[in-house]
Amino acid sequence: MRNYRHIEVRPIAGALGAEILGVDMARDLEDDVVAETRQAFLDNLVIFLRGQKATPQQQLAFAKRFGEPIEYPMLQGLPECPMITPVIKLEHERSNFGGIWHSDTTYLSAPPMGSMLLALEIPPIGGDTMFANQYLAYESLSDGLKKTLEGLIGVSSSAKADVTRTREDRVKSAGAERKLLTAEHPIVRTHPETGRRALYTSDAHTSHIKGWTEKESLPLLEFLWEHQTRPEFTCRFRWEVGSLAFWDNRCAMHNPINDYHGYRRVMHRITLAGDKPR
């Protein structure tokens, strides 16, 4: 295990995920603290901060220490801070935003490097988020299947991303123009910072394999989607008000669990720019 001098890192599961102590995102952090926090992010794929009390501007300033914030496609941000997108499920809604295993917005040509989510209001029970390690998902495949996947390109579509009615409702209520977005990415990508290989496909976004029909693609893709989220590849995070999760979309998937009907859940999300997967 890596030694850290300026922060404390507490892993929460064998596969991925760690809570970080010694970081207050409302403060102007020293470069050494930021550097170690980023290393913890790369080592653990998703990191969690507890007890954070930050304004939207402070959350945005914190995010800028790790990357370039970008607007979420088709949705409006906060009026006072457009780079922060409210993620809200109201008491009467039955569907939650992005309620399926996925890596964020892979229908973009350069999908986000990471995402930060800060909890403002949470239900009394439920509403946890699960994460899955896609390095382990790839590394545990047989040599034969790895060879089969070499060079395969997945086609992602924003039309398939509308698996939750809440996403459609948010676009309509914001008065945003709904656009069809598509992108092509390798089924197996190489992380640009760690050099490790990871599966990069999801039921939420991948419509088919390039050069294959959807019917031909489905058996292989369905196997991968089930394999990617095996319990031994996952961790589960229980939110508290003031909790922040920062995950690496290049090697981790996530799934917000929709088990809190009748309660309100309010989050502030920042998306960080990434590069074209290779």
pLDDT in tens, 203-250: 999 999 999 999 999 999 999 999 999 999 999 999 999 999 999 999
The question of whether 104 is a catalytic residue gets the answer yes
**158, 167 in Cβ contact below 8 A?**
no
Catalytic annotation on 261?
no
Could you say which residues of the chain have pLDDT below 50? 164-169, 174-175
Domains along the sequence of the chain with CATH? 8-272 (3.60.130.10)
Please give the pLDDT value at position 198.
Answer: 99
Question: HSE (CB half, 13 Å, CA atoms) of 135?
Answer: 15
Check if 205 is active-site.
no
Q: Quick one: pLDDT at residue 236?
A: 98
pTM of the entire predicted model = 0.94
In sequence order, the β-bridge partners of residue 154 are: 185, 209
Q: Where are the alpha helices (DSSP H) in the chain?
A: 31-44, 56-64, 134-139, 143-149, 158-161, 165-173, 214-228
Looking at residue 94, its pLDDT comes to 86
Out of 189, 191, 205, 269, the active site residue is 269
- Residue 178, pLDDT score: 66
d(CA 183, CA 107): 5
Q: What are phi and psi of 192, to 5 degrees?
A: -70, -15
Tell me the two tokens of residue 35. Answer: 């550097």
In the set 102, 170, 197, 208, the catalytic residue is 102
Per annotation, catalytic residue among 104, 167, 205, 250 = 104
- Residue 268 appears among annotated catalytic residues: no
Rounded to whole angstroms, what are the CA distances from 51 to 19, 22, 177, 239, 269? Answer: 11, 11, 37, 11, 17
Catalytic residue among 167, 189, 254, 265: 254
Place of tokens 């986000």: 112
Beta strands, E only, the chain: 8-11, 18-21, 46-49, 69-70, 84-89, 114-121, 129-133, 153-157, 182-186, 188-190, 197-199, 206-209, 234-237, 244-248, 252-256, 265-272
Task: Report the 10 Å Cβ neighbour count for 234.
Answer: 23
Asked if residue 7 lies in contact with residue 37, where contact means CB atoms within 8 angstroms, the answer is yes
